[in-house]
Amino acid sequence: MMEMMETASILKNATIRSLIIMDEIGRGTASDEGFALAWAITSHLLTRLPSRCLFATHYTGLAKLVAESGNGQCLMTRAIVGEDEDDGIVFLHSITPGVAEHSHAIEIARFAGIM
């Protein structure tokens, strides 16, 4: 509920001069509901509130909306996976234009000690 209230406040109070930073809108909901919320919020930000916005999401389907709007740009964290003799997998990161094609979730879980 807190995240929804914060999102509502951002959308109601932001102006063209605002810098909006949002992370994983729709998290904690069913997948379809989360995607619908993220789509609606992204659409609103692109068409009705032309402010500066950083919007982090795992919903790669939003890239189509952004591309079709002509008002935004998709950037991704590119993870270059390398091997290190002592630590196993090493992730080197850079920010590049585009949309991630796949996840490294299993490797990250293993790296974090879950597996």
pLDDT at 99 over 90: no
Residues 55 and 87 in one domain: no
Question: Same domain, yes or no, for 9 and 65?
Answer: yes
* Enclosing domain of residue 90: 77-112
Which pLDDT band holds residue 12 (cuts at 50, 70, 90)? very high
19 and 31 housed in the same domain: yes
**Rounded mean pLDDT, 42-69:** 84
> So what's the pLDDT on residue 18?
92
CB atoms within 10 A of CB 22: 19
pTM, rounded to two decimals = 0.70
Instruction: Map tokens 């500066």 to a residue.
Output: 52
- Number of domain units in the chain: 2
Verify that 65 and 90 share a domain, yes or no.
no
